Amino acid sequence: MSNEETIELGEYTIRTLPPEVSGSEETLKTGTTTIGMKIKDGVILASDQRATMSHMIAHSNVQKVYPLADNLGMTIAGVVGDAQLMVRFIQSEVSIYSMKRGSPMSVKAAATLVANVMRNGFYLGLIVGGHDSTGGHVFSVDGAGGYIEDNYMSIGSGSTFAMGSLEASFKKNMSKKEAIDVAITALNSSRRRDSGSGDGMLISYIGPKGYEEIPQESIKARCEELGFAYPN
Helices 159-169, 176-193: inter-axial angle, 10-degree rounding: 140
The mean predicted confidence, pLDDT, of the chain is 89
Within 10 A of 58 (CB to CB), how many other CB atoms are there? 15
Q: Please check whether residue 33 is in contact with residue 48, taking contact to mean a CB–CB distance below 8 angstroms.
A: yes
DSSP string over 95-126: HHHHHHHSSPPPHHHHHHHHHHHHTTT--EEE
Q: Please check whether residue 162 is in contact with residue 170, taking contact to mean a CB–CB distance below 8 angstroms.
A: no
Q: Please check whether residue 204 is in contact with residue 211, taking contact to mean a CB–CB distance below 8 angstroms.
A: yes
Q: What is the pLDDT of residues 123-147, one digit of tens each?
A: 999 999 999 999 999 999 998 999 9
Q: What is the pLDDT of residues 154-177, one digit of tens each?
A: 999 999 999 999 999 999 999 999
- All domains of the chain, ordered by start, with CATH? 10-17+27-226 (3.60.20.10)
Q: Is the pLDDT assigned to residue 191 strictly greater than 60? A: yes
Residues with catalytic roles: 32
Percent of the chain with pLDDT over 70: 87
Evaluate the omega torsion of the peptide bond into residue 215 and state whether it is cis, within 30 degrees of 0: no
Report d(CA 40, CA 58) in Å as an integer: 37
Length of the chain: 232
DSSP at 79: B
pTM for the full model?
A: 0.88
